[in-house]
Amino acid sequence: MNTRVLTGITTSGTPHLGNYAGAIRPAVQASTQPGVDAFFFLADYHALIKCDDPARVARSRLEIAATWLAVGLDPERVTFYRQSDIPEIPELSWLLTCVTAKGLMNRAHAYKASVDQNVAKGVDPDDGVTMGLFSYPVLMAADIVMFNANKVPVGRDQIQHLEMARDIAQRFNHLYGREYFTLPEVAIEEDVATLPGLDGRKMSKSYNNTIPLFEGGAKALRASIMRIVTDSREPGEPKDAEGSHLYTIYRAFATHEQAAAFRKQLEEGLGWGEAKQALYDHLENLLAPMRERYFDLMANPGRIEDVLQAGAAKARKLAVPMMRELREAVGLRNLNAQAPGKDAPARKEKGKGARFVSFRDEDGGFRFRFLAADGEELLLSQRFADPKQAGALMRRLQAESPEALLQATAEGLTAVLDGVTVATAPAGAVGDAQAQLAKTRDALRSMAQE
């Protein structure tokens, strides 16, 4: 079975070294692995949230597409497209918006940061906040679940958005009674997921502390590296490699042996100027061949356009039938497919059956409910910090004997595994404990027989 990997970059600026290390490189490497079905896209709708300069957005789309192709992305092997070339994505975003709680969006880091800044300035909390910024996580969720991605390589600052995508997809699945969407998992390259910039903060265009990837050529690369902030230790004095932004960047692009050798040189007193030159030499050796391919592509944008159009056609072969199915699910059906006329017998819909429904509670913990076929909540689990723990427990509950698992006590119905209460009947459960016990056992048996 293939694993579908999906990632994208917002087209609001020129790719820098941090973009390459944190997103582009690991994603391209993943696309070459056996059993990987890779999707890569230019997130140009997302760019409109951050940028109202049309020329900048257009230029960035070209630069980012050229970058991905220059670093080795194979459009014959992967699906490479622009977000705006897939009209089904904004349509899906609206369907997801209609099932997403506002409270979930209130907790998004980007929105909360804007509110905090406004409060600190003494202005209206939502001053300058657009609906694009507020609902950004919903559009990101649509990007991901449209193609039922299994893994999404992102930086650490995007982990929350992946968790939100899971919550939103799960909510849709629950409301419409089927697993329409796969719940995506985050994929992070631990050592280099967030690369420091020239001043030690996260490398970001917002901080103006980036190192260019290709633009400006070797001269711009060297000039940026020479501006990396270091401490005041003189040549000959031992350096703190682990505390050095320069070493962190070097390590992100080196083998373990190369990084160890460079660290030893720093600890033995290598001067900062020599260290910066060593970093430049190392990066230039790596980037020069890719830079040459990049400038060739930039000079021939028609070649890039052909690749993107072919990728969009490939992506829409999946998106069009997916949206057809989702429109049917929410009731946006062709009138010819409506219920029979008054003279024809109405078709009875098949029941959903007993089922587990996982969710995230207000405190951020992962829990699940066990529902009867009629929708009555029979069990509510304890809280788990890890969603995988909750998932493993649901599988165990389905596998265990209902007679051994469930107990009726004076406090009510409980589910006990290995001597530990893992779920209980919810507060206000209808009927006495014995009746609940019988109904819950029957519901578990029915699941086992499906």
| Residues tagged in the binding site annotation for ATP | 10-12, 18-19, 155-157, 195, 202-206
Binding residue numbers = 10-12, 18-19, 143, 155-157, 195, 202-206
CA separation for the pair 322, 148 (Å, rounded): 10
CA separation for the pair 111, 303 (Å, rounded): 38
CA separation for the pair 223, 394 (Å, rounded): 56
Binding residue numbers for L-tryptophan = 143
CA separation for the pair 86, 91 (Å, rounded): 10
Residues in the chain: 450
Distance set, CA 306 to CA 7, 27, 64, 344 (Å): 20, 22, 15, 52
Tally of CA atoms within 13 A in the half-sphere of 163 that contains its CB: 20
The DSSP secondary-structure symbol of 183 reads P
To which H or E segment does residue 61 belong?
helix 54-70
* Residue 414 DSSP SS3: strand
* Residue 108 DSSP SS3: coil
CA separation for the pair 95, 35 (Å, rounded): 31
Do 312 and 88 touch, CB atoms closer than 8 A? no
- Secondary structure, 3-state, 270-296: CCHHHHHHHHHHHHHHHHHHHHHHHHH
